[in-house]
Every structure is written in structure tokens, then in C-alpha cells.
Amino acid sequence: MSGTSPSPVVTGLGGRCPRCGRGRLFRGFLAVAPRCEVCGLDLSRQDSGDGPAAFIILIVGFVVIGAALVVEVGYGWPIWLHLVVWLPLAVILCLALMRPFKGLLIALQYRHRRHEFDAG
């Protein structure tokens, strides 16, 4: 491994190990792998908590509500059309952002030496 550690943004958003940047961080959609298959970093105790969900709610809420307001003012859609368009979009955006944001938060925890990571 080189002397510089990989960027937490690149490794986190890419779902890679925060130490080596090559191993997979996830073993399922949101389940964190117990250990990096490349460098052996213990990931079993990693928990990002509600952090990713809070950020995603703010971001998706801003995008969806902002777009809905622009469309309402500009075109005056009926309420049923708003529901048909914006609810699925909000769900899709939340699901699409959950894994990258969870990976980013775990990578940032590693970078800032959160105590759940092993010292080695």
C-alpha cells in the first residue's frame, strides 16, 4: 500500500474500503462487509446510524419540493399528477443516494479515526 491513504469521498461514494480503497465496503445493498477482503480492515462494528438518512432527506426534499413548486407555479398540475410524478421520484432518489452516503459517512469516520475501527 502506498504512503497516502485514499480519499474518503472517492472510497465512500464508490463503496470501497476506507483504508485501501480496493476492497468492497458492502456485502449487500446496505449491509457492511465484516472485513475488507483486500487489506483485512475490521468493518464489523461500523454503523453510520441515521446520518445518511438525515442528509438524504434534506437533499431530496429540497430537490423534489423545489421542482414541484416550479412546476405548480408554471403549469398548475392537478394534485394527482404531482403525486404520480414526485412520490416515485423521491423514493428513487432516496434509494439511489443511500448506499453512497452511507459509504461516505463510514469513510469519513475512518479518516477521522473513530474508535470503532481497529488501530492496525
The predicted pLDDT at position 49 comes to: 87
| pLDDT at res. 1 | 46
What is the reported pTM? Answer: 0.85
Domain boundaries, the chain: 8-111
**pLDDT at 117 (0 to 100):** 63
DSSP string over 57-94: HHHHHHHHHHHHHHHHHHH---HHHHHHHHHHHHHHHH
**pLDDT under 70: residue ranges of the chain:** 1-3, 115-120
